[in-house]
Amino acid sequence: MSTYGYARVSSADQDLSIQEAALRAAGCHVIRAEKKSGTRRDGRTEFETLLDFLRAGDTLMVTRIDRLARSIGDLQDIVRTLRSKGVALRATEQPIDTSTASGKAFLDMLGVFAEFETNLRRERQMEGIAAAKARGVYKGRRPSIDTAEIVRLQREDRLGATAIARRLGIGRASVYRALAAADD
């Protein structure tokens, strides 16, 4: 029965040292850490390694539940996986301990709030983008497909959509959309 730590930050310029120190102080001798987004589980290799390593009776320790997951669905999947292995989940900064009924209830409440926070952040971001577009400041990313080149290949080189798509390394549907936009 061992306690293993998991630390995560979202971007490369953020620092893991505070989380790692808190996990060491909580008794974690092995800590896996990574700089990856918490909105998705795929690509979090350190976390997956830790999940493979944990055995019945072990405890997975995090500083806060949002270091583990940002959606209630992902959190519930992780907790189910841990429960099926006989592993408890605890947090240093929150009263979470899945080996107790009150700890499980608090975990579910925090998961709901973490997902709510993520959704609010996404809404604010979309509102900001809409406002910037209205002011003419934000134009979006530059098109990756050259519509003029597609039209030229069709008219001058007499290539069909499949041949154009192969030549430009794009999908056939993109060729059709570009040709439709050029006709408008």
Do residues 73 and 82 touch, judged by C-beta distance below 8 A?
no
E runs forming strands in 10-129: 30-35, 59-62, 88-91
Residue 170 and residue 113 share a domain: no
Q: CATH no. for residue 50?
A: 3.40.50.1390
The residue segments making up the domain with residue 159 are 147-183
* Last residue within a domain, chosen from 79, 102, 118: 118
Residue 168: its H or E element: helix 161-168
- Check: pTM over 0.75? Answer yes or no: no
Q: CATH no. for residue 160?
A: 1.10.10
Which amino acids are annotated catalytic?
Answer: 10
Residue 83 and residue 19 share a domain: yes
What would the pLDDT profile of 74-89 be if each residue is shown by its tens digit? 878 888 899 899 999 9
Do residues 32 and 60 touch, judged by C-beta distance below 8 A?
no
Does any domain span residue 128? no
**Total tally of structural domains belonging to the chain:** 2
> Average pLDDT of each block of 10 consecutive residues along the chain (184 residues)?
89 85 92 80 84 92 85 81 91 83 80 80 90 85 83 89 90 89 80
